[in-house]
Structure 1
Amino acid sequence: MLARMIPDLSRFDAAIVDLDGTMVDTLGDFVVALNLMLVDLGLPKVAPETVRPLVGKGSEHLILSVLDHVLAPAEASAVQQRFDAAWARYQHHYSHVNGLHSAVYPGVVEGLRALRSHGLRLACLTNKPTAFAKVLLAAKGLDGFFATVFGGDAFERKKPDPLPLRKTCEALGSKPARTLMLGDSSNDAHAARAAGCPVVLVSYGYNHGEPVRGVDADGFVDSLEELSSFRAARP
């Protein structure tokens, strides 16, 4: 199959960058906070391999999925009944471990610098709660790259709905067609397609446990550092 071409970075006015799985490997933070939450609830702990495919759809989805896993074969109503307590404990613990068990992926800083060197305005758009996202970016020294940061609680709907991308484009003052979306999952790609934004995905992220190269995207990179010379999707 022929590689699909996308414009040179100089033809974009802005870029929207996902956080978990794209800029920072936060799996360790999630696992620690979730297990502390489960201990508080008197429930068994979960392993990283259980958590990894659940990342990316927001904290509510993550907590409900973990409860469903540890309470199986409980009815959905039983899971929902535990949610409020679980949410409160998770929020408490995550606020204390945020950034402590995570690491910036190689090439991220170089990639963000490349985007800025092309004059692109940058926004971080994640399904993580906004407050947690801002703390994490600051802890990892990435906050200075972004004109604005929007989390999963910033708008009425989360990715893969296109609303967050459209609203972020408005905040950046850029048209969707001239705004590049960078992410790690089908959530990012589906939202970008529906919003009219070109999309490039990293190969190393989470993508709900599925092969990322099976996602409909304009291109893929193994490191954000590749953006400095990016021209076409890999075959």
Structure 2
Amino acid sequence: MADFELIQFDLDGTLIDSVPQLAEAINDMLATLGHAGQPVEAVRCWVGNGADMLVQRALTAAQGEAPDADLHRRARALFDEAYAGHADAALVFYPGVLDTLERLRTAGKRLALVTNKPYRFVPGILAAGGLTDHFELALGGDSLAEKKPSAAPLLHICERLDVSPARSLMVGDSENDVLAARAAGMAVAALSYGYNYGRPIADSSPDWVLDDFAGLAAILKI
């Protein structure tokens, strides 16, 4: 097994199942715009490319065509306002997440968070989950000029924490996480239970496919 010093984690679909909160915010937004709500399972297939794309996919489904720029801007503002009231409520962590993160920290591993979620929501979610002190650095989808599947966020974390990509492992649940890791020259473990647009994550050929978050312990030798 490889000896990794730094572990970079995705958030939605990896650590937490955020779809219920996202769906509530999306449906609040749609209701304000006069559209019918969308089912939770539809929202599940739209997550992973950041809030702008989530809003675009929801509007396209609701009105049968892609929104123009003005509507998209208005809808995004409505979504952000709605999600602020839902983001850190009734958090659902996947099995094994909290225990494994604590084991990693106790074992001396360095942890970082790299999500495509807008950063404004990240501190509240981490605080609500008791994880504020677990991560040395957290990036949102708008923290840099590029987000996953770009390698930029992953490499930025490595640079800031002075760890080479070869000594860092990316842990995510979607093709974007795998592509970002590959572009960064980084190994990647992918969870099979997350949000990958309805496709098996194994199709993206990560180094490891895990059905259970606790399986990281064997990869990381803790």
TM-score (norm 1): 0.90
Structure 2 residue aligned with 1:57: 49
Q: 1:62 to 1:101 in 2, by over 3 A?
A: farther
CA separation in 1, counterparts of 2:98 and 2:41? 27
What aligned pairs does 1:31-180 form with structure 2 within 5 A after superposition?
A: 31-72=23-64, 74=65, 76=66, 78-180=67-169
CA separation in 2, counterparts of 1:224 and 1:143? 19
Letter in 2 for 1:32: E
CA separation in 2, counterparts of 1:53 and 1:168? 28
Letter in 2 for 1:99: D
Say whether the 8 Å CA contact 2:91–2:129 is kept in structure 1.
no
Say whether the 8 Å CA contact 2:110–2:136 is kept in structure 1.
yes
SS of 2:206 mapped into structure 1: coil
Letter in 1 for 2:77: A
Shift, 1:101, TM fit: 4.5
Letter in 1 for 2:137: T
1:213 counterpart (193, 202, 212): 202
Say whether the 8 Å CA contact 1:68–1:79 is kept in structure 2.
no
CA deviation string 1:72-98 (max 9, x = no partner): 1x3x4x443311111111111100111
- Give the unaligned 5+ runs of structure 1: 1-5
Q: 1:231 to 1:170 in 2, by over 3 A?
A: closer
CA deviation string 1:157-211 (max 9, x = no partner): 1100111111011122110010010000110000000101110011111112211
Say whether the 8 Å CA contact 1:27–1:102 is kept in structure 2.
no
Q: Which stretch shows the higher mean deviation, 141-150 or 31-40? A: 141-150
CA deviation string 1:135-170 (max 9, x = no partner): 111111122210111000111111001111110111
CA separation in 2, counterparts of 1:48 and 1:204? 16
CA separation in 1, counterparts of 2:219 and 2:137? 24
Letter in 2 for 1:173: D
Letter in 2 for 1:206: Y
- Give the unaligned 5+ runs of structure 2: none
Letter in 2 for 1:156: A
Sequence identity (%): 38
CA deviation string 1:101-159 (max 9, x = no partner): 54011100122123223322111000001120121111111222101110001111110
2:187 is aligned with 1:198: yes
Say whether the 8 Å CA contact 1:185–1:201 is kept in structure 2.
yes
Root mean square deviation, CA, Å = 1.5
SS of 1:180 mapped into structure 2: strand
TM-score (norm 2): 0.95
SS of 1:208 mapped into structure 2: coil
CA separation in 1, counterparts of 2:107 and 2:4? 8
Q: Which stretch shows the higher mean deviation, 117-126 or 172-181? A: 117-126
CA separation in 2, counterparts of 1:226 and 1:127? 24
